[in-house]
């Protein structure tokens, strides 16, 4: 979702401006960058037929995650490893992406697929336990998996708190069933917020990703809000 720049355009100005207008550049269509103003009745409608429309927003998601070299990420329910591969370059060879699945068959497939990327470490976990050391991860990434977690999700989220470092984060991408075209499995934001708060997580950012029926939610641990600032 990189914004187009006027610098370096070689096409005539008329063509350049027309191209930017057609591409939906918000500052030319009357909508300020980052604005939530609705300028079209179809602005929030889902685009495309793919089952993973939010993958088209990967650049934006990665920017929001702001991963650094050396970071350790738990990609919970990694599936085909699509997000693990996207995050691998950000954490670098000194970082780790635990591509976690609960079936050995899937773990073996991930090992074969990503043998060339040593920072991706396919990892077998249990349905109620990620089998990682305490305070070992900077981020837990849960993409369209939250609704598959055990019914005791509050307990599971408490367990994740023990795995994530005190200043680490939890990122959840989930279908919003209230608006999802054709229904499908997902989690209402109110349910996610309630379960997360009961487990000691605080929602610090939420955004419905335009062109999809999914939201991006980023949470941090409640303990951060009780830390006293250092004295001068």
Domains defined for the chain, CATH in brackets: 53-226 (3.40.50.150)
Arithmetic mean of pLDDT over the chain: 84
Beta pairing class for 137-143 and 96-101? unpaired
Detail the DSSP E strand segments found in 114-223.
120-124, 137-143, 164-175, 201-208, 214-221
Q: What is the pLDDT of residue 49?
A: 63
Tokens encoding 169: 């984060």
Beta pairing class for 164-175 and 120-124? unpaired
Q: Which residue has the higher pLDDT, 106 or 185?
A: 106
User: How far is residue 79's CA from residue 171's CA, in Å, rounded to a whole number?
Assistant: 16
Tokens encoding 56: 């088209």
Share of the chain above pLDDT 70, in %: 81
pLDDT tens for 1-44 read 333 333 333 333 333 333 333 334 343 334 455 677 888 887 77
Q: Which residue has the higher pLDDT, 162 or 35?
A: 162
Q: What is the pLDDT of residue 230?
A: 74
**Of all helices (H) and strands (E), which one includes residue 101?**
strand 96-101
Radius of gyration in angstroms for the set of CA atoms belonging to the chain, rounded to a whole number: 20
Q: What is the mean pLDDT of residues 172-197?
A: 87
Q: What is the pLDDT of residue 197?
A: 96
Q: What is the pLDDT of residue 44?
A: 76
User: Cα separations (Å) of 122 from 18, 145, 208?
Assistant: 47, 17, 30
Task: Specify whether the CB–CB gap between 101 and 78 falls below 8 A.
Answer: yes
Q: What is the pLDDT of residue 181?
A: 66
């Amino acid at each position: 979702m990189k914004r187009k720049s006027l610098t370096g355009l070689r096409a005539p100005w008329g063509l350049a401006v027309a191209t930017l207008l057609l591409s939906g550049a918000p500052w030319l269509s009357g909508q300020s960058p980052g604005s939530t103003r609705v300028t079209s009745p179809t602005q929030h409608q889902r685009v495309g037929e793919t089952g993973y429309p939010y993958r088209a927003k990967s650049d934006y998601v990665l920017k929001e995650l702001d991963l650094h070299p050396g970071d350790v990420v738990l990609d919970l329910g990694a599936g085909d490893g699509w997000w693990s591969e996207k995050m691998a370059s950000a954490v670098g060879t000194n970082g780790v992406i635990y591509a976690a699945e609960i079936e050995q068959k899937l773990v073996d497939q991930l090992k074969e697929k990503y043998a060339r990327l040593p920072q991706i470490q396919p990892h077998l976990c249990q349905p109620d336990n990620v089998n990682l050391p305490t305070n070992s991860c900077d981020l837990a990434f849960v993409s369209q998996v939250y609704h598959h977690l055990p019914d005791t999700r509050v307990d599971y989220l408490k367990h994740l708190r023990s795995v994530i470092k005190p200043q680490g984060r939890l990122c959840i991408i989930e279908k919003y069933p209230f608006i999802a075209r054709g229904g499908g499995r997902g989690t209402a934001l109110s349910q996610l917020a309630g379960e997360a708060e009961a487990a000691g997580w605080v929602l610090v950012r939420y955004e419905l990703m335009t062109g999809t029926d999914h939201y991006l939610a980023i949470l941090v641990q409640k303990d951060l809000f009780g830390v006293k600032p250092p004295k001068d």
